Amino acid sequence: MKSEIIKLLGETDVLLPALIAESLAANDRVKTRLSVLQAADDHARDPHNARFNLTEECRAAGIDPFPLKALVNGASLSAGERITAPGLGALGKAIWEDMAAMLRAVKTGDTVLGEKSADRLAAIRSSASLGSSDDLDIATLKKLTSLPKADEDSLHRLIMDLHKALNSLAASHAQEVVSGAYTYGLSAHDRLAVEAFMRGLNGTRKLKFDHPGLATTAARAADRLTIQNDIGETDAHVVVITVNPDNVIVTYSDIHRARAKFFVRLLDSFSAQWSGLERKSATGLGDDGNFYLVTGRYSASRREERDAFLEALGASLVFLIDWNKARKVLREWVINSDAVRVLDWAARQRLGHRGFLELGGADLVASAVHHVASSRIGFGERLDNVLGRNGAVDFLKSVLRITAEALLSGSSLRLARDRIEAALVAHLERVDVALLAIVVRQAGLARDIAASLADSMAELRTGRTFDARAVAKRAELIERKADRIIVEARSEIVRFDADHGIERLSNQIEDAIDELEQAAFAATLVPSELPPTLIDSLTELCAAALSGTEAAVVGTTAAAEVPENHRVDTEDALAAVGQLIECEHRADAAERAVTANIISGGFDLKTSLSVLELARALERSTDQLARFGHLLREHVLADLSA
């Protein structure tokens, strides 16, 4: 009521908090309206697949979504590269009104910047016909909604610049600071919500260490409270929380889809409803101008429920800073899904990954490997190849815990490195897992030979020639490599006084490799032309051998997890044993078919002997694989009983 007299007296600073709140609300509205404008363009170009999906964003910005839904779904292309949509003129007028509202606060807080911004807006508006009718040319639409090159101006760039100016004004002209958040226009009820959010944020803020970010502003505008956090330094990485009387709406944007999904999972203990990840485009944001937007709604009938959600939301944000960087580093040592598992665990344990990155990241792990495990873990080799998946994940969890604790307690980097090396040694002592990984490598080599033989039979079946000698030469090299691996396995078993059942497994798969290598040699003696009946039986034998080697790989990999009491892995290992026995039966039948054909077919001596030797070598390989299966079953059952 006293705004006019205050202006007359020149004491406009006292009006600034309310103007800032109004301008920030206008900023939310204009961004949403520009998204509607883009959505109208998408629908006009592809009416069947592009529909209105901005309901939650409109509600969060305080805009009635129904007229805008009609606008988007009614948009169509018209002659002369133009778009026609019901209500397009009204949308344009509202955009200019929002821009004027943003300018009011900027002009009041910084007259020079405000005047320059007003001139920019006038120039942009004079070159655009938006707001005059329900018809707009596509070139103007694209210019209004995109961020141009650095030396050009646009409405999108002006909005970003005004938003930065408003955030600066909010920080320097806030009515009060509530638990570290710059706030203005808050009611007593609003303070409770902001305090709950900041309680979570401040509880984990220390885990960002020296990284910038997590600045928070909050404002009361009309009938809603808006809390905004900038998270880190990326332009498109922000979260906006709208607190309504009976719900909380979260709008989150990110250039990394995987991180956006991770953020949603961190709040999975609350029954919030989340939209799908929507891909947006804005030139200048992210590597390719794309980012992802997700909206969540949490309904709360009691203030305690609302505050618990806000607190958890605030606590989660620090774990998003440099998340993708940490994921890439961890991915050097484990597969991507396991890297995400480690980050998820670190967040839920209130440890985070920033300490890990601060103290060296990949260099910490590489240094530990070099000092205590250079003979076990080769350069560039993933940890899960040696420690097993769970072992590698557990070790990396230890690394993240050690680094966070070191920085929080102020202990030395040397001590942290020593603790990491000790943790690696402890995991290496789970030698059964490491040795089973060697057996998996052997089974993989057996599969390589079996696959080459199967491919050769496929070529023979289609009448194409193949280089049997090259297959035999490769099999010979693989067999030599397998010999070196088993020598390594035996050495490790002696070194750690490990379970000799694993040695028997290794020896058995080595025998299968020998038979497959013999089969590859026999294939060089087989004539290039054979009757279909013989080719069919040999193809079946190769398929049985290939399936057997694959079952050996799967079964041994699963067996490595059995000591961790993973029931599913136990079942997988035992199922693989059944497959190995079934492969032996298939090979027996196919080998007998070959023998019967040779005896009754009247083939020449060379054909008869070479085909029989090939068939019998393949059948013997499946016998060895079946024996491997029986040993694997004994190993699994022994682990379970232990």
Distance CA 323, CA 340 (A): 9
Query: Domain boundary residue among 319, 354, 377?
Result: 319
Evaluate whether residue 426 is within a structural domain.
no
Q: What average pLDDT does range 316-323 have in this prediction?
A: 94
Evaluate whether residue 18 is within a structural domain.
yes
Tell me, yes or no, whether 14 and 48 share the same domain: yes
Tell me, yes or no, whether 237 and 100 share the same domain: no
Q: What average pLDDT does range 479-487 have in this prediction?
A: 88
pLDDT at 396 over 80: yes
Distance CA 420, CA 400 (A): 9
Tell me, yes or no, whether 290 and 347 share the same domain: no
**How does residue 143 score in pLDDT terms, banded at 50, 70 and 90?**
confident
Evaluate whether residue 546 is within a structural domain.
yes
pLDDT at 578 over 80: yes
pLDDT at 566 over 60: no
pLDDT at 142 over 80: yes
Which of 58, 50, 56, 59 has the alpha carbon at shortest distance from 34?
Answer: 58
Rounded mean pLDDT of the chain? 85
pLDDT at 68 over 90: yes
Neighbours of 171 (CB within 10 A): 12
What's the domain count of the chain? 4
Write out 479-531 in H/E/C secondary structure: HHHHHHHHHHHHHHHHHHCCCHHHHHHHHHHHHHHHHHHHHHHHHCCCCCCCC
Tell me, yes or no, whether 349 and 303 share the same domain: no
User: How far is it between the farthest Cα atoms of the chain?
Assistant: 117
The helix-helix angle for 500-523 and 431-461 (nearest 10°) equals: 20
Q: What average pLDDT does range 92-116 have in this prediction?
A: 90
Under a CB-based contact definition with an 8 Å cutoff, are residues 116 and 146 in contact?
Answer: no
Tell me, yes or no, whether 189 and 331 share the same domain: no
Tell me, yes or no, whether 475 and 551 share the same domain: yes
Evaluate whether residue 490 is within a structural domain.
yes
Kindly list the distances between the CA atom of residue 72 and the CA atoms of 1, 43, 67, 85, 419, in Å, as whole numbers in the listed order.
39, 7, 9, 7, 59
Residue ranges with strand state E in 66-186: 76-78, 82-84, 135-137, 176-178, 181-184
pLDDT at 99 over 90: yes
pLDDT at 397 over 80: yes
Tell me, yes or no, whether 440 and 570 share the same domain: yes
The helix-helix angle for 111-126 and 88-109 (nearest 10°) equals: 160
Instruction: Pick the more confident residue, 268 or 19.
Output: 268
Tell me, yes or no, whether 286 and 404 share the same domain: no
Q: What average pLDDT does range 321-344 have in this prediction?
A: 93
Query: Can you give the pLDDT at residue 639?
Result: 61
pLDDT digit string, tens, across residues 379-388: 777 888 777 7
pLDDT digit string, tens, across residues 2-16: 344 335 334 454 467
Distance CA 603, CA 615 (A): 15
Query: Can you give the pLDDT at residue 8?
Result: 37
Query: Can you give the pLDDT at residue 431?
Result: 59
Query: Domain boundary residue among 365, 392, 418?
Result: 418
Query: Domain boundary residue among 136, 170, 204?
Result: 170
Evaluate whether residue 483 is within a structural domain.
yes
Distance CA 456, CA 444 (A): 18
Weakest mean pLDDT among 275-289, 320-334, 340-354, 443-457: 275-289
Tell me, yes or no, whether 77 and 187 share the same domain: no
Distance CA 175, CA 106 (A): 17
Distance CA 312, CA 189 (A): 19
Query: Can you give the pLDDT at residue 109?
Result: 79
pTM: predicted TM-score of the whole model, two decimal places: 0.54
Place of tokens 């004491």: 11
Weakest mean pLDDT among 258-267, 319-328, 398-407, 557-566: 557-566
Query: Can you give the pLDDT at residue 2?
Result: 31
State the Cα torsion 176-179-183-184 to the nearest 10°: -50
Percent of the chain with pLDDT over 70: 90
Instruction: Pick the more confident residue, 399 or 282.
Output: 399
pLDDT at 439 over 50: yes
Kindly list the distances between the CA atom of residue 247 and the CA atoms of 6, 271, 303, 308, 320, in Å, as whole numbers in the listed order.
36, 12, 10, 12, 24
**How does residue 253 score in pLDDT terms, banded at 50, 70 and 90?**
confident
Query: Can you give the pLDDT at residue 11?
Result: 41
Under a CB-based contact definition with an 8 Å cutoff, are residues 439 and 555 in contact?
Answer: no
pLDDT at 280 over 70: no
Handedness of CA 52, 53, 55, 57 (dihedral sign): negative
Tell me, yes or no, whether 527 and 397 share the same domain: no
Evaluate whether residue 423 is within a structural domain.
no
Question: Which H helix or E strand runs over 37?
Answer: helix 16-45
State the Cα torsion 37-39-44-48 to the nearest 10°: -160
State the Cα torsion 346-349-350-351 to the nearest 10°: -40
Evaluate whether residue 361 is within a structural domain.
yes
Q: What angle do CA 313, 315, 321 make, to 5 degrees?
A: 100
Q: What average pLDDT does range 209-223 have in this prediction?
A: 80
Distance CA 382, CA 402 (A): 21
Tell me, yes or no, whether 336 and 275 share the same domain: no
Tell me, yes or no, whether 370 and 443 share the same domain: no
Distance CA 550, CA 558 (A): 12
Query: Can you give the pLDDT at residue 459?
Result: 87
Which structural domain range is residue 503 located in?
431-641
Kindly list the distances between the CA atom of residue 120 and the CA atoms of 19, 125, 126, 308, 633, in Å, as whole numbers in the listed order.
20, 9, 10, 44, 76
Which of 547, 543, 537 has the alpha carbon at shortest distance from 611?
Answer: 537
Weakest mean pLDDT among 30-39, 491-500, 513-522, 539-548: 491-500
Percent of the chain with pLDDT over 90: 46
**How does residue 538 score in pLDDT terms, banded at 50, 70 and 90?**
very high
| Amino acid letter, residue 86 | P
Question: Which H helix or E strand runs over 221?
Answer: strand 216-221
Evaluate whether residue 525 is within a structural domain.
yes
